[in-house]
């Protein structure tokens, strides 16, 4: 199914007999916690989900945002009211990163009806509320494996045999700056593909044809190309997974991403504008 939903479509579904569960995943890399903004105003009925605490495991050797324990993730989704047969829509207020992380985790663990609000909260023209909902407990039980996941060795191999995209900002890929991780640079062979270039000036995803052209220029010639994506810690890369899916690809996610790779002194590092 289409991984994104417009604000107009969402408004219609919220007033239907089968409204989606709404997840507010306001998260900003290096910024303030999203809960205060959620409490100040959210789409009616939306439940706040804490990306650091509920959509990631404890930071460590596996990176800053390793995949969460499936059982802990399932419990968080049930608290939010998610069941296997309930549609889910996630949104955030910054480039779709947080919402995409929730989308990816739910799809990876077997939920089939999950979408991201295209354009995020800024696209929503309806009312906001401050009431904190208390949804009925859901029944969703995670079954991981629906999406392909890469480890560090798999990412290194794909960079040689297929196409490994680096979704971070270009200056981090080139090794000019590194505000979060131990070493600056990129996985040798990876191609720079910042997430910002998946969106238009209003923060909405580009059309499927535009995205297909973008990824073709980066080396993904057709759907048979083996594609993987990584970022700093596996969060923003999920937004690129959505863009690739819109374009007709089935990419794998390197979940540990650069925050895992750069912690291993035995892993090679490339710098500069070329894959290396």
Catalytic residue (one of 49, 191, 231, 253) = 231
Alpha carbon 212 to its chain centroid, in Å, reads 19
- In the three-class reduction of DSSP (H, G, I as helix; E, B as strand; rest coil), residue 28 is classed as coil
Alpha helices in 41-183 (DSSP H): 51-54, 70-79, 97-108, 152-161, 170-174
Q: Of 243, 256, 257, nearest to 96 (Cα)?
A: 243
Q: Is 269 a catalytic residue?
A: no
- Tokens encoding 8: 């107009």
Residues 14 and 110: their CA atoms lie apart, in Å, by 23
Which H or E element spans position 229? strand 227-230
Query: Catalytic site residues?
Result: 231
């Amino acid at each position: 199914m289409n991984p994104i939903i417009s604000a107009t479509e969402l408004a219609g579904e919220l007033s239907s007999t089968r409204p989606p569960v709404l997840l507010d995943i306001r998260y900003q890399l290096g910024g303030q916690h999203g809960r205060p903004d959620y409490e100040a105003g959210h789409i009616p009925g939306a439940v706040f989900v804490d990306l650091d605490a509920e959509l990631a495991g404890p930071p460590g050797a596996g990176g800053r945002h390793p995949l969460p324990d499936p059982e802990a993730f399932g419990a968080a989704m049930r608290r939010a009211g998610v069941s296997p047969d309930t549609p889910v829509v996630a949104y955030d207020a910054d480039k779709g990163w947080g919402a995409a992380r929730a989308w990816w985790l739910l799809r990876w663990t077997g939920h089939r009806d999950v979408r991201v609000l295209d354009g995020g909260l800024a696209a929503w023209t309806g009312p906001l509320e401050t009431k904190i909902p208390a949804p009925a407990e859901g029944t969703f039980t995670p079954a991981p494996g629906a999406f392909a996941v890469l480890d560090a060795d798999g990412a290194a191999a794909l960079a040689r045999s297929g196409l490994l995209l680096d979704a971070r900002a270009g200056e981090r890929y080139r090794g000019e700056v590194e505000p979060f991780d131990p070493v600056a640079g990129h996985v040798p062979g990876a191609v720079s593909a910042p997430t910002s270039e998946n969106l238009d000036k209003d923060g909405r995803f580009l059309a499927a044809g535009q995205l297909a052209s973008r990824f073709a220029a980066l080396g993904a010639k057709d759907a048979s190309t083996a594609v993987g994506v990584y970022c700093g810690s596996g969060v923003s890369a999920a937004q690129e997974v959505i863009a690739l899916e819109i374009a007709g690809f089935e990419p794998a996610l390197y979940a540990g991403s650069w925050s895992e790779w750069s912690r291993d002194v035995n892993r090679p590092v490339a710098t500069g504008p070329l894959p290396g």
